[in-house]
Amino acid sequence: MLDLAVALSFGMLGVALLLNLWRLVRGPELPDRVLALDTLYVNAIGLILLLDVHLDRAVNFEAALVIAMMGFVGTLAFSKFLLRGDIIE
């Protein structure tokens, strides 16, 4: 039963990644692309953690944490750039 749930989750996350990539490429404006990139890294974290669940280990948990921190800081910096035009004051 767990294998079916993991397989369905892989499929749903794969579709979500493809839809995020489509929005990243075709986004009508820059804030749409920033939001797609933000959602893309969140889905990538989910995929990494789901792979750990599937392989029954916890090796990539630290990598997921690093991706989450880098994505958060990157989103903040890019949002500040969109609002003010520069990152460093």
Closest CA to 2 of 77, 40, 56: 56
Q: Are 32 and 19 in contact (CB under 8 A)?
A: no
Q: What is the pLDDT of residue 83?
A: 85
Q: Identify which has the larger pLDDT, 7 or 58.
A: 7
Domain residue limits, the chain: 2-84
Q: What is the pLDDT of residue 89?
A: 67
Q: What is the pLDDT of residue 82?
A: 85
Q: What is the pLDDT of residue 11?
A: 95
First to last CA, the chain: 54
- The predicted-structure confidence for 11-56, as pLDDT tens digits, reads as follows 999 999 999 999 999 989 988 998 998 999 999 999 999 999 899 8
Q: Does residue 61 register a pLDDT over 80?
A: yes
Q: What is the pLDDT of residue 84?
A: 84
